[in-house]
């Protein structure tokens, strides 16, 4: 069976994801005795099974390829058309995640207009000429919630504060059995969307990523990246990244930044100020390695000492994971049922209120509400009263 496809749609996807036709053929021909050819892919009437294989790569739904409307390939179409280079070399899984949230952003923007919801930016745009420490102090007054040492509660409170200022935060979760894993921690896309990857093993890192991407929002510089502490100190960050890192640190540290200022030197003779830094970490929800990184930037710790601390933290973290895995395996061997459910993404109140308004206005159906909120129909009544 064949269907008539809009070939420009496939070409659009190849351009969007920076994928060559040969790379696409490599993927869709896996497991086939008779490879699909380029001519067969670009045929006006394409074999339906071939189209299904293509859609397993892009996850657009078969209707996308047969829609006669020409795709938009300009700045409005997505961040990949607005910006060619990012701080991280994105893998294909990351590109699909970014594209998904870009499309969701566009969809929600249209829904907001139809529902009469105002989603314009409230916080002004800053420049790199401003002092990130000063700006962090100003923005803290608007966006910093009541402090909680419960890291997930603190993250949720931050997302709620952001929603009050029309900043929409999405979180996505990668599960252990996913074949494709992203290589990013988070990103900011115009005009007001921040996306985070759930970091179940380190909410401190996820919190720092959120505030780092907030900094990108403040200076209106789109970015998609992985914040990798292992490479810090090896190369100087760009002016933009330095501003964002500085802002994130001062936003989270608040008054405790003065205590860090008072630290003059960190080395083995003062036990690397470990107890003091641990106390600051607990009081600010900034990870200890992030504080040591700040000290490295300020030349208060040598690169060699920083590397020792970094390796020590990493070894303790891996040991913790190994212990957890051993306990899990012992429980399995003993025939114990494994409890716990898969983590669910945090939902911004701004997303929920937008979808609720659209439903009450008759713009969205119950099915569409469940689709937008990524919930089952059983949970519909939890969100729509």
d(CA 262, CA 132): 19
User: What is residue 76's predicted lDDT score, i.e. its pLDDT?
Assistant: 65
User: What is residue 261's predicted lDDT score, i.e. its pLDDT?
Assistant: 93
Q: What is the pTM of this model?
A: 0.87
Question: pLDDT of 18-72, one tens digit each?
Answer: 889 999 999 999 988 899 999 999 999 999 999 999 999 998 889 899 888 877 6
Question: pLDDT of 128-140, one tens digit each?
Answer: 999 999 999 999 9
Average pLDDT over residues 62-83: 77
Identify which has the larger pLDDT, 155 or 178: 155
Is residue 232's pLDDT more than 70?
Answer: no
Please state whether the peptide bond connecting residue 191 to the residue before it is cis, i.e. omega within 30 degrees of 0.
Answer: yes
Nearest to 253 by CA among 227, 279, 229: 279
pLDDT tier, 335 (very low <50, low <70, confident <90, very high otherwise): confident
User: What is residue 73's predicted lDDT score, i.e. its pLDDT?
Assistant: 62
Q: For strand 168-172 and strand 223-225, is the pairing parallel, antiparallel, or unpaired?
A: unpaired
Is residue 273's pLDDT more than 90?
Answer: yes
Q: Count of CB atoms within 10 A of residue 36's CB? A: 18
User: What is residue 227's predicted lDDT score, i.e. its pLDDT?
Assistant: 73
User: What is residue 317's predicted lDDT score, i.e. its pLDDT?
Assistant: 83
Is residue 290's pLDDT more than 60?
Answer: yes
Question: pLDDT of 138-165, one tens digit each?
Answer: 999 999 999 999 999 999 999 999 999 9
Is residue 316's pLDDT more than 90?
Answer: no
Average pLDDT over residues 292-320: 91
- Mean residue pLDDT across the chain: 89
Identify which has the larger pLDDT, 86 or 309: 309
User: What is residue 235's predicted lDDT score, i.e. its pLDDT?
Assistant: 63
The helices-and-strands tally (H runs, E runs) of the chain is 18, 6
For each of the domains in the chain, give its residue range(s) and CATH number, in order of start.
Answer: 2-71 (1.10.260), 125-321 (no CATH), 349-383 (no CATH)
Write the burial class of residue 10 (CB in 10 Å: 0-12 exposed, 13-18 middle, 19+ buried). buried
User: What is residue 83's predicted lDDT score, i.e. its pLDDT?
Assistant: 76
User: Residues with Cβ < 8 Å from 154, sequence gap 6 or more?
Assistant: 145, 147, 148, 203, 207, 285
Is residue 78's pLDDT more than 80?
Answer: no
Contact assessment for residue 140 and residue 96, using Cβ atoms and an 8 Å cutoff: no
Ramachandran quadrant class, 306 (left: phi over 0; alpha: psi -120 to 50; beta: rest): alpha
User: What is residue 77's predicted lDDT score, i.e. its pLDDT?
Assistant: 60
The percent of residues in the chain predicted with pLDDT above 70, rounded, is 95
d(CA 112, CA 118): 7
Question: pLDDT of 320-333, one tens digit each?
Answer: 888 878 887 777 77
């Amino acid at each position: 069976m064949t269907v008539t496809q809009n070939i420009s749609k496939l070409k659009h996807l190849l351009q969007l994801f920076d994928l060559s036709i040969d790379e696409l053929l490599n993927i869709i021909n896996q497991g086939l005795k008779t490879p699909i050819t380029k001519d067969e892919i670009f045929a006006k009437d394409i074999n339906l099974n071939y189209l299904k294989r293509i859609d397993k790569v892009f996850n657009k739904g078969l209707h996308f390829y047969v829609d006669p409307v020409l795709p938009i390939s300009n700045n409005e179409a997505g961040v990949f058309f607005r910006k060619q280079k990012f701080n991280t070399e994105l893998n294909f899984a990351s590109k699909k995640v970014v594209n998904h949230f870009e499309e969701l952003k566009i969809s929600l923007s249209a829904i907001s207009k139809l529902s009469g919801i105002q989603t314009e930016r409230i916080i002004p745009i800053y420049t790199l000429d401003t002092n990130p420490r000063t700006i962090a102090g100003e923005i803290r007054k608007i966006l910093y919630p009541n402090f909680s040492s419960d890291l997930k509660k603190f993250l949720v409170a931050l997302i709620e504060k952001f929603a009050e200022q029309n900043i929409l935060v999405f979180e996505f979760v990668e599960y252990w059995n996913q074949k494709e894993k992203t290589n990013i921690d988070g990103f900011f896309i115009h005009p007001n969307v921040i996306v985070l990857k759930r970091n179940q093993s380190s909410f401190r890192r996820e919190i720092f990523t959120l505030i780092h991407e907030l900094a990108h929002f403040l200076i209106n510089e789109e970015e998609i990246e992985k914040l990798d502490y292992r490479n810090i100190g090896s190369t100087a960050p760009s002016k933009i990244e330095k501003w964002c890192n500085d802002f994130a640190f001062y936003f989270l540290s608040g008054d405790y930044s003065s205590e860090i200022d008072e630290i003059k030197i960190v080395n083995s003779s003062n036990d690397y100020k470990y107890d003091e830094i641990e106390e600051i970490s607990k009081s600010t929800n900034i990870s200890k390695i992030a504080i040591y990184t700040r000290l490295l930037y300020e030349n208060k710790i040598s690169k060699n000492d920083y590397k020792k601390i970094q390796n020590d933290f990493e070894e303790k973290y891996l040991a913790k994971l190994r212990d957890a895995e051993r306990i899990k395996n012992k429980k399995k061997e003993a025939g114990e049922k494994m409890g716990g459910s898969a983590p669910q993404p945090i939902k911004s109140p701004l997303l929920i209120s937008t979808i609720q308004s659209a439903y009450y206005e008759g713009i969205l159906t119950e099915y569409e509400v469940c689709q937008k909120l990524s919930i089952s129909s059983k949970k519909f009544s939890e969100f729509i009263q």
